[in-house]
Structure 1
Amino acid sequence: MSPALTRLEHQRTHRLIPALYDRGAIEDLFDDEDEAAAVFDLDNATNDRLRADAGQLAGIGPDELVTGVPYASVINAAFTHPNPNGGRFNTSARGAWYAGFEFESAMQEVIWHHTQWLLEIDHLHDTATKSEYLADFAGEFHDLRDTEDYARCLDPDPAVGYVGGQDLAARLLDAGSLGLIYPAVRNS
């Protein structure tokens, strides 16, 4: 059984990512053009987004990446740089584009995850700057809203929700699904 398909046309979904990815993370590592070339060659050799584009990444192939649109690298990075533990609807082998219909939903999700990270390192004092990306979606997506059949996937506890969600997402991806619509877990 699969969730029902819903035709969605939604403009301005909100995705927040750390602002440090807005500028090159390695810009401070070189002093001249020769050093820059060496540093960029090393970075490119280990960049999963570029490896996926070359067909060298197991979780996603070059035919699945976006090309020829503004911010294609940002979109592709969401799928090629997954969290090592996966997410609610993706494993560590393949990322996902998570976005909220409302800014508040995206923000609450980021706050929750950042807080979990701070608890893990036992340091609850931090500031974080995020960049917001807006994306429009149009297509048929599997819909978990208004059904109790997939409540386990929406459990706020990652130990419960992520297991069910990752299994469901893998099955839907294998069947050619474009993605999932689901109610915000961290923002009622």
Structure 2
Amino acid sequence: MKITGVNDRGLIRLIPETRHKPPVLRGLVDTDEEAAILAELEGETSARLVAERDGGPALDRRELVFARRAHDLKVYGQTHINAAFTYTRPTGNRFNSGDRGAWYCSYDVLTSAEEVGFHRTRELANIGIYEDEARYVELLADFIGDFPDLDGAPEHPALDPDPDIGYPEGQALAKTLRRQGYRGLLYPSARRPGGRCFVAFDPGIVQNVRPGASWKLIWKGAPDFSIDGF
């Protein structure tokens, strides 16, 4: 596998935009003081807060950014980075297992939208209703370093578009690369032809996180979705 030098700014990660939603627990209580108590109780089961306090089976708490770069992330980015590595699907994703997350991003917003839209579409398929509107916000981050690169290897099994095939292969590859000391991986998108993606295995390489534009993904009765700014 070739190694590619990276010194790139503004790679795009899309996360659900929640500012337009009221706090989930607020409707259960009558006052802000009671809501604060519920939020504190909820924090006892928060994967991010638990990992920041105790770490996890595959994640040393000292890797998380609050302990390593608290000063430069004081304003923005700390919780977003830690959340990416602590909130996971039980079966993991393409290049991370269920016990350790990763920071996935791409070089353009259309590729990021196709990646998150694929997973949302699978959820809609489970209920058989393709009517939905999902809001996402960009998280922009910078990366520098030399990383393995799957560009030019489209037949690599880790890039198989079928999660049942690609994800186990990708997780095995990521485990091997991490053991060899690599902290990230460049790869072509499995969802958008020509799209280029990057996954950070290590919270410490995610630099200068800041917010970007907001987008809506809209399904109107079919698996295909449209992308609109707002």
TM-score (norm 1): 0.90
2:135 matched to which residue of 1? Answer: 129
Q: Conserved in 2, the CA contact under 8 Å of 1:9 and 1:138?
A: yes
Cα deviation per residue 1:15-74 (whole Å; 9 max; x = unaligned)?
A: 111112787544444332442232122111111111111124223121111132121100
2:63 matched to which residue of 1? Answer: 64
1:41 matched to which residue of 2? Answer: 40
Gapped regions of structure 1 (runs ≥ 5) = none
Partner SS, residue 104 of structure 2: coil
Cα deviation per residue 1:76-129 (whole Å; 9 max; x = unaligned)?
A: 101100122211101111111110111111011111111011101222111111
2:15 matched to which residue of 1? Answer: 17
Give the Cα separation in 2 of the matches to 1:45 and 1:116.
30
Farther-moved stretch of structure 1 (31-40 vs 11-20): 31-40
2:203 matched to which residue of 1? Answer: none
| Distance change (3 Å), C-alpha of 1:155 and 1:183 | same
| Aligned-residue identity in percent | 37
Note the C-alpha offset of 1:164: 0.4
Partner SS, residue 100 of structure 2: coil
Pairing 1:53–2:52 present: yes
TM-score (norm 2): 0.74
| Distance change (3 Å), C-alpha of 1:22 and 1:44 | farther
Note the C-alpha offset of 1:174: 2.6
Partner SS, residue 126 of structure 1: strand
Partner SS, residue 131 of structure 2: coil
2:180 matched to which residue of 1? Answer: 175
| Aligned counterpart for 1:151 among listed residues 156, 180, 200 | 156
Across the aligned residues of Structure 1 and Structure 2, the Cα RMSD in angstroms comes to 1.9
Give the Cα separation in 1 of the matches to 2:4 and 2:55.
34
Give the Cα separation in 2 of the matches to 1:127 and 1:33.
30
Partner SS, residue 141 of structure 2: strand
Note the C-alpha offset of 1:179: 0.8
Note the C-alpha offset of 1:171: 1.7
Q: Conserved in 1, the CA contact under 8 Å of 2:25 and 2:35?
A: no
| Distance change (3 Å), C-alpha of 1:7 and 1:25 | farther
Structure in which a larger fraction of residues adopt helix: 1
Q: How many positions carry a matched residue from both structures?
A: 185
Structure 1 counterpart of 2:63, which letter? Answer: E
Gapped regions of structure 2 (runs ≥ 5) = 194-230
* Larger RCO of the pair (alpha carbons < 8 Å, separation 6+): 1
2:191 matched to which residue of 1? Answer: 186
| Distance change (3 Å), C-alpha of 1:167 and 1:184 | same
Give the Cα separation in 2 of the matches to 1:119 and 1:165.
24
2:82 matched to which residue of 1? Answer: 76
2:210 matched to which residue of 1? Answer: none
**Where has structure 1 moved over 6 Å in runs of 4 or more?**
none
| Distance change (3 Å), C-alpha of 1:100 and 1:32 | same
| Aligned counterpart for 2:122 among listed residues 113, 116, 121 | 116
Structure 2 counterpart of 1:44, which letter? Answer: G
1:8 matched to which residue of 2? Answer: 6
